[in-house]
Chains A and B, each alone.
Chain A
Amino acid sequence: MTNPSEHLSPAGRFLLDRRSFLSTSATALGSIALTKLLSGDGLLASSTGGSALDLSNPYIPRSPHFPAKAKRVVVIFCAGAVSQLETWDYKPELIKWDGKPLPGGPKLTFQGAAGNLARPQYNFRQHGKTGKWVSDLIPHLAELTDEIAFVHSLTSKSNTHGPAENFLSSGSILDGFPSLGAWATYALGSESRDLPSYVAIPDPRGVPQNGANNWGSGFLPAAFQGTVMTSNRPLRHLSAAGGSNSADRAARDLLQRMNARHLEANPGDAKLSARIASYELAGRMQMSMPEISDLSSEPDHIMKLYGADDTKNPNKAAFAKNCILARRLVERGVRFVQLFNGAYASGGRLNWDGHTDLKGQYDVHGAIMDQPAAALIKDLKQRGLLEDTLVVWCTEFGRMPFFQKGAQGRDHNPDGFTCWMTGAGVKPGVSYGETDELGQRAVKNKVPLYDFNATILHLLGLDHEQLTFQHNGIARRLTNVEGHVIRDMLA
């Protein structure tokens, strides 16, 4: 690698040749300022190493810091805060204390006065070789517990959906920070030439409370934000406007040559090169996307496996189709897929935010999420994709062991909740950390969400402390100044 510029585009070469850039500039001070700006864009500082980031081709694959176990990630994001007590965190003590007040418990929680302790609203039984206790709400996922690494002791920095969603997705409770998927694609680029590197698939019923910030690129280059699509609303404006395919391709090739010439005449214009890259990708997506989003080629047994044929539960069928879409994207090399379950519209009734009638609400959502999500994991496994794909199931926080006063639901609880991972590089059949005997607070191996994110980056071959981007004078990280990789979850 004696001369790195050999591997770069004209725009990249120009940017790297800083000395001639400085010497040819009219005023030294101006060029110093510009150099500073460019380094802020991550153009000069190649913190992701390997091949330096080249904005005229931002999606080219880049090597990780160390050999990666996972090449791709699917995040199943259950918006609205899934109760750990009705799903993965079995607390038999709660049955004993059902209906009694919690001595010394908080009088007031997020939404109002606290009521009495309430037993888990579903029966639990043991599953698999590990004998993991899982509730009857999610029977299909329960079959997979031998393959899963659970964290039961997660904590969040906010007990409010919007900020907590941000914290889970971007490591900051504030808006405007890059999401995990943006960091991953910034570091690693895309395996696929013809598809976006990062796709966000919202719930068929709508987006989560904090919407696009969950898949935003924050201060990272805009090329790394998530592309939004669902199975029932594929990407818009992709169909070619008449003309034959070959004529279309010829026209694009000509355009590309002209663009390249324009770029050589205007070297160093990062925005121009990024725009060209994005046009070129869009052109290729006109070919690739219709095929990918057309699920009619899926055989019946696959539709059945996911529950996409369920005519009685159209929401489940629609979520199942999203899950199939996720698999198809992963199969074609999309680096990061975020699959949302639960929408914010109607103030929380369409997601896991069970404040008033938890059982009634969860009966609906469990049925929508369980079978399709489980089928996605099984399908990835049988195709061998789980070999190098990490699947993460997560939610922004948990819920209280007691009901809200005068209601049949649980209030927000960021002090101890459960998320899990399975697939590439994950130690199967692990349960890490514990909450207290009523499931209110993490008491053993407490894990801030930073650690969970650091672990995901680690599985992608990235050191969360080395993956940085210079912004406003700070070398920003997904994990801020926190984060420890949870070694006990690694195979």
Chain B
Amino acid sequence: MTTETDQKKCGSSCLRPLAITIFGLLIISILIAMPFLVGEPNAEKIPDIVRFFGRFHPVVLHLPIGIFSLIMIQELLAMFTRYKPQPTIIPIFIGAASAVVAVLFGFFLYIGGGYEMGELLQDHLWGGIFFASAAVLTLIVKSWLLPLKFSTVLYRAMIFGSVGIMSYASHDGASITHGKDYLFEYAPDSLRKIQGYEPKNVKVGAPVKPLEEQIVYEDMVQPILNKRCVECHKESKSKGKFRMDSYELLVKGGNEGDGIVPGKALDSNIVYRCELPEVDDEHMPPESKTDIEDHELAVIKWWIDSGADPVKTVAQLDLTEEIRAAISKLDLSVDLVAGKSGSATPLADLPSDELLKAVSALAKDFPGGLTFESQVSSRLTFTAISLRNNLDDQLFSKLKSVIPSMVAMDLSSTAITDDSVKLLATAKDLRVLRLSETKISDAALDTLASLKNLEAINLYGTRVTDAGVEKLKSLTHLKRLYLWQTDVSEGMITKLKEALPELEIITGV
């Protein structure tokens, strides 16, 4: 009797669940077998079309998340209210299908290269496969539930289970894309504590770490190694049994012996191999990889020669001008400037505390007058644009201590005289100087002639004459000289242009 009813109930309508079951189990076995059958990711061997579809992983993956969440909410409503979800298989079918596609595309993305197999990726891969499998199993249960009308408990448990696995898998995926700390970066400290994070230590508007406080190994050497070497010398791919992703392993070395010999850069393997000619088979990085830059190697050698200490700061080592220049070329903007990585902001010489103090003390007398040339520069610019006639020699002399840091000064329309210009003798880096409409005379130009880095001098509306500007002939870097409304003669202008062919002299219209 029962069998008969069952057969009657099922009959032809059982064909569909049966097909779904067989097809579903097949798909699950393919998904699970997939990571074992396909080898290491290899960008060169994977056809472009596979990599193209891989890029759609971030798009497709949101479909199962949305659909399964919706189904779960519907089931919750059905449990606690009189709401009845429609008895259709379509949503769960699309949800499971999109989950399978998302996992496939995710796998394509992974084997297309660019992702390192680590714990996180491993978890995400299997999380995804288990979720897709759970989704397909749920679909199978649902497909039988429609004709056979057995209890919904199993089905609901599977829905909730699927959503659980899904949350786990998608969190790992998001962590790969955004970084592990992404979700809790701005969480209240109480929540962060539960998750095992340190309390937020947000240095708001705080100055970037000054050069002297940078730890040479951590802030400079390891980032260079990460960029140039670690791709092949790391946990998952330790070429020559040599890992370079931590200080201990770097010292330990590999097949060829010690990685570094503290105090002896030229005897250290990592330096020695980099310094071999590029045609040498032993040269590192190998031919197919981007070579290490000279300034990067210079910093590494400096660090090893200084004892290869893992915690010493720049201030504790002996910083020469050459090394300072090499450091300034490193792309360390991440560590130094609150901003995105890879931007071209050069590491620069940040102002000393002494200079900062001097500048802030002067702010009262020269409101808005002193500005650093950039956020990472110790060079100053000065403008008297708000002071104009109120700036006389006496007030100007207060600037004396910061004048050596000046790169640009606008002193136009002020009451200063030649006496103030004399103070500029220490402004060896001064490039742009505006003295227009002031009372300066030829005597001031003796001082200017000694400032060899001047690129532009504005003398319009001053009393300078031929005798004065002739002194500027020695300024070989001078590019523009403004002489409108002065008594300088045509003859002198021609003479200056002969002496300095690159110089443009502006005399007005």
Interface residues of A (CB under 8 A from B): 1-2, 4, 6-7, 16, 18, 28, 32, 44-47, 49-50, 52, 59-68, 189-194, 305, 332-333, 378-379, 381-384, 387-388, 461, 463, 465-466
Asked if B42 CB lies within 8 Å of chain A CBs, one says: no
Contacts of A6 in B (CB 8 A): 360
Docked complex Cα distance between A32 and B190 (Å): 12
CB <8 Å contact, B383 and A28: no
CB <8 Å contact, A384 and B345: no
A52 and B205 contact, Cβ closer than 8 Å, known pairs A1-B210, A193-B367, A382-B460: yes
Instruction: Offer 6 A-B interface pairs, CB within 8 angstroms, sorted by A.
Output: A2-B353, A59-B368, A63-B372, A68-B373, A192-B368, A332-B385
Docked complex Cα distance between A28 and B338 (Å): 27
CB <8 Å contact, A49 and B375: yes
> In the complex, how many angstroms separate the beta carbon of A12 from the nearest chain B beta carbon?
8
A387 and B375 contact, Cβ closer than 8 Å, known pairs A333-B386, A382-B506: no
A44 and B205 contact, Cβ closer than 8 Å, known pairs A190-B368, A194-B386, A333-B385: yes
CB <8 Å contact, A60 and B432: no
Docked complex Cα distance between A52 and B207 (Å): 10
Docked complex Cα distance between A136 and B247 (Å): 71
Asked if B356 CB lies within 8 Å of chain A CBs, one says: yes
Docked complex Cα distance between A44 and B204 (Å): 6
Measured CB to CB, the nearest residue on chain B to A59 is B368
Docked complex Cα distance between A491 and B353 (Å): 34
CB <8 Å contact, A4 and B205: yes
Contacts of B338 in A (CB 8 A): 46-47, 49
Q: Is the interface of B mostly helix, strand, loop or mixed?
A: loop
CB <8 Å contact, B343 and A388: no
A18 and B375 contact, Cβ closer than 8 Å, known pairs A193-B367, A305-B509: no
Asked if B292 CB lies within 8 Å of chain A CBs, one says: no
Measured CB to CB, the nearest residue on chain A to B339 is A466
Count class of interface residues, chain B = 35 or more
Asked if B232 CB lies within 8 Å of chain A CBs, one says: no
Question: Which residues of B (418-452) have their CB < 8 Å from a CB of A?
Answer: 432, 434, 436
A381 and B360 contact, Cβ closer than 8 Å, known pairs A46-B204, A63-B372, A387-B458: no
Contacts of A65 in B (CB 8 A): 337, 339, 345, 374-375
Contacts of A332 in B (CB 8 A): 385
Asked if B111 CB lies within 8 Å of chain A CBs, one says: no
Docked complex Cα distance between A194 and B340 (Å): 36
CB <8 Å contact, A465 and B509: no
> In the complex, how many angstroms separate the beta carbon of A61 from the nearest chain B beta carbon?
5
Contacts of B375 in A (CB 8 A): 49-50, 63-65
A383 and B205 contact, Cβ closer than 8 Å, known pairs A66-B374, A190-B368, A191-B383: no
Query: C-beta contact mask, B32-47 vs A, less than 8 Å → 1, else 0?
Result: 0000000000000000
Measured CB to CB, the nearest residue on chain A to B408 is A388
CB <8 Å contact, B339 and A63: no
Contacts of B408 in A (CB 8 A): 388
> In the complex, how many angstroms separate the beta carbon of B199 from the nearest chain A beta carbon?
10
Asked if B456 CB lies within 8 Å of chain A CBs, one says: yes
CB <8 Å contact, A193 and B386: yes
Contacts of A466 in B (CB 8 A): 339-340, 343
Contact of B368 among A2, A60, A379 (CB under 8 A): A60
Asked if B49 CB lies within 8 Å of chain A CBs, one says: no
Measured CB to CB, the nearest residue on chain A to B357 is A6
Told that A32-B188, A333-B386 touch, could you supply 12 new A-B pairs with CB distance under 8 A? Answer: A18-B202, A45-B204, A49-B338, A50-B375, A63-B372, A65-B375, A66-B345, A66-B376, A384-B460, A387-B458, A387-B480, A387-B482
Query: C-beta contact mask, B492-509 vs A, less than 8 Å → 1, else 0?
Result: 000000000000001111
> In the complex, how many angstroms separate the beta carbon of B368 from the nearest chain A beta carbon?
5
Contact of A46 among B205, B372, B432 (CB under 8 A): B205
Contacts of B344 in A (CB 8 A): 66
Contacts of A32 in B (CB 8 A): 188
CB <8 Å contact, B383 and A1: no
Asked if B194 CB lies within 8 Å of chain A CBs, one says: no
> In the complex, how many angstroms separate the beta carbon of A147 from the nearest chain B beta carbon?
11
> In the complex, how many angstroms separate the beta carbon of B451 from the nearest chain A beta carbon?
16
Contacts of B367 in A (CB 8 A): 60, 193
Docked complex Cα distance between A190 and B344 (Å): 26
CB <8 Å contact, B377 and A67: yes
Docked complex Cα distance between A63 and B375 (Å): 5
Measured CB to CB, the nearest residue on chain B to A189 is B368
> In the complex, how many angstroms separate the beta carbon of B287 from the nearest chain A beta carbon?
31
Contacts of B188 in A (CB 8 A): 28, 32
Contacts of B285 in A (CB 8 A): none
> In the complex, how many angstroms separate the beta carbon of B302 from the nearest chain A beta carbon?
26
The 6 closest A-B pairs by CB, nearest first: A1-B207, A52-B205, A333-B385, A384-B458, A382-B508, A193-B386
> In the complex, how many angstroms separate the beta carbon of A342 from the nearest chain B beta carbon?
26
Contacts of B340 in A (CB 8 A): 465-466
Question: Which residues of B (450-509) have their CB < 8 Å from a CB of A?
Answer: 456, 458, 460, 480, 482, 484, 506-509
Contacts of B113 in A (CB 8 A): none
> In the complex, how many angstroms separate the beta carbon of A270 from the nearest chain B beta carbon?
15
Asked if B313 CB lies within 8 Å of chain A CBs, one says: no
CB <8 Å contact, A63 and B374: yes
Query: C-beta contact mask, B356-367 vs A, less than 8 Å → 1, else 0?
Result: 100010010001
Asked if B153 CB lies within 8 Å of chain A CBs, one says: no
Docked complex Cα distance between A4 and B360 (Å): 11
Which residue among A193, A194, A384 has the maximum number of chain B CB atoms within 10 Å of its CB? A384
Contacts of A7 in B (CB 8 A): 360, 363
Contact of B371 among A61, A194, A387 (CB under 8 A): A61
Docked complex Cα distance between A388 and B383 (Å): 12
Contacts of A189 in B (CB 8 A): 368
Measured CB to CB, the nearest residue on chain B to A17 is B204
Docked complex Cα distance between A420 and B176 (Å): 44
Measured CB to CB, the nearest residue on chain A to B485 is A382
Which residue among A6, A387, A461 has the maximum number of chain B CB atoms within 10 Å of its CB? A387
Docked complex Cα distance between A188 and B43 (Å): 46
A384 and B506 contact, Cβ closer than 8 Å, known pairs A63-B374, A63-B375: yes
Docked complex Cα distance between A50 and B368 (Å): 13
Query: C-beta contact mask, B311-351 vs A, less than 8 Å → 1, else 0?
Result: 00000000000000000000000000111100111100011
